Structure 1
Amino acid sequence: MSDLYDNASENFLELASSQRLEILFKLLQKRTTATFLAKDIGATKQEVHRNFTRLEESGLIEKDKNGKYGLTTFGKTMCTQVPSLVFLSQNRKYFEDHTFGDLPTKFIMRAGQLASGTHIKGVSKTLEQWKSIYKNADEYVYEILSEVPLDLIEPLVKRVKKGIRFSYIFDENVVVPKGRKALLKKLGFDNLIENGLVERKMAKNIQTVLVINEKESCLMFPNTDGEADITEMLYSNDPMFHEWCLDYFRYCWYGSDVFKESKLKE
């Protein structure tokens, strides 16, 4: 077992250089020579040649018959792991008081897809971004909710009335704001459900809050007490970030129960 860790530590050592990481990701885009790449990244030829040698000896890159370098299968695979380290590094402070909660391991392993996320802090800022996701939706809005901000209901219903699909999962222990039922009745929410524009389900103990449309996503991970926290979020319109969020929503959707209005408390 120690040999396995020794090999892994050696590979981490080869990645412990910002220039070598930059070289790997440049080669992920296209094959090139050390001399050309030195010009591209503004480094000396000697530096880049030295790092090319190290990466080649480590089996991460290889030279073809035309003298150009590209990634080996090993190198390409290692590049898929780096974004997870980038994500955790750039959000280290955020995760000092937040956790992945009950997130399945398979989604934590894909955390690199979230590396493009922008950290938004402050409840007013998160709610504005939330509303923006509603406003920009042309096809659908999907949500996983631990609570229901009252001032978000009307903007969402307006979008649904214009034809977007709305699917959401409620925490079965959620305490909804007073006036929610009256507002939904006023807005004709039941008709939207009957017309198939709204689908809803319930789940136990929602910790991770999610809001997405067909091109934007935001995630709100729980605090260290395991409670959902909508005062901070990670937002992105990057396709990889969106794919992660959409897959997570679908995973939760198919594992959720039938929605029961009677369980909700004001």
Structure 2
Amino acid sequence: MAPPEKVDKLFLELSSESRLDLLRELEAKELRMGELARRLRLTATEATRQLKRMTDALLIRRLPQGAYTATTYGRLVLQLSPSLEFVSRHREYFTTRDLSQLPHPFLNRIGELSQGTLHMETMETIVTGEQLMGRVKRYFWAMVPGPGSELLGPTVHEQRLRGVDFRFAVPAELLPLKALPPGAEPDFKLRGLPQIPAILAATDAEGFVSFPPIGGRWDYAGFYGKDPTFLQWTRDLFLHFWEQGKRAPTL
């Protein structure tokens, strides 16, 4: 049996930005060498060399009429590459983070956060969170490592009166929340988790996620975004853990 091909050969082919651009162009449209060279501003010699490398790697193929197109394998590689590009771009951040509590499907999809903006300052993140809560229209779902004023402040009550769906997942050890007066009706739905995998806020228009530092206290450094794929990732992660959460006992 032949030994399996090492993935480092694939990484070598994708280490060139021009080859990645070439693959993206051929995923979108069948192109001849001349048109491809013009789009990517390559010389004919360089375009020919890159096309041969990508063809040998089975990422693209030459059609009978002379144009090139991405193979199914090449298209799959492109679908997976955003996650690698995203973590590579923010490697200093991820080097210090613990993502061990994230389910594998969400790790595989982490590239969906790539359009988000990284906020490293704690106060900047807190201000962003307060503004996000004030702008919510339909729902505000969050995972937080403590009860926090965001659970009990007037903003939640005011928004709840307008029909906003508030849900909070907190560490199970904090339940029931002693800060609520006995018999008080909370303005939000509450569930407990054995461990908080990330600080997260998901709304109908914005989202935020912060991953825990390795061996340290939460610092709220994380990603804020508005694009649909970013929002879908944050919503899906929240609902995944919400379904596993323990309902808060009645006080």
Same fold (TM over 0.5): yes
Amino acid at match of 1:190: E
User: How many equivalent residue pairs?
Assistant: 250
Deviation at 1:174, TM superposition (A): 4.3
The answer to whether the Cα contact below 8 Å between 1:101 and 1:221 also exists between their aligned partners in 2 is no
Following superposition, the deviation at residue 51 of structure 1 comes to 0.8
Task: Give, in angstroms, the shift of residue 139 of structure 1.
Answer: 1.8
Task: Flag the 1:53–1:164 CA change in 2: closer, same or farther, 3 A.
Answer: same
Task: Please report how far the alpha carbon of residue 136 of structure 1 lies from its aligned counterpart in structure 2 after TM superposition.
Answer: 3.2
**Matched ranges for 1:113-262 at <5 A:** 113-150=112-149, 153-174=153-174, 181=180, 190=185, 192=187, 198-225=188-215, 227=217, 229-260=218-249
Deviations 1:109-164 (A, max 9, x none): 22222222211011211012212322332221111111244267333333222222
The 2-side partners of 1:74 and 1:121 are apart by: 37
Q: Is the 8 A contact 1:101 1:226 kept in 2?
A: no
CA-based RMSD of the aligned residues comes to 2.8
Write out per-residue CA displacement over residues 200-254 of structure 1, whole angstroms, 9 at most, x where no aligned residue: 2111121311101123211110110165x24311111122222222111111011
Partner Cα distance (1:154, 1:124) in 2: 20
TM-score by length of 1: 0.82
Partner residue in 1 for 2:83: 84
State the match for 1:14 in structure 2.
13
C-alpha displacement of 1:22: 1.3
Detail structure 1 runs of 4+ shifted over 6 Å in the superposition.
Answer: 175-178
Q: Check the 8 A contact 2:101/2:197 in 1, yes or no.
A: yes
Residue deviations 1:69-105, cap 9 Å, x none?
A: 2211100001122112111111111123212132122
CA distance in 1, matches of 2:25, 2:146: 44
**1:189-210 Cα shifts (integer Å, max 9, x gaps):** 8274xxxxx3221111213111
Segments of structure 1 that go 5 or more residues without pairing to the other structure are 193-197
- Taking structure 1 as reference, are residues 242 and 151 closer, same or farther at Cα in structure 2, changes over 3 Å only? closer
Identity of aligned residues (%): 24
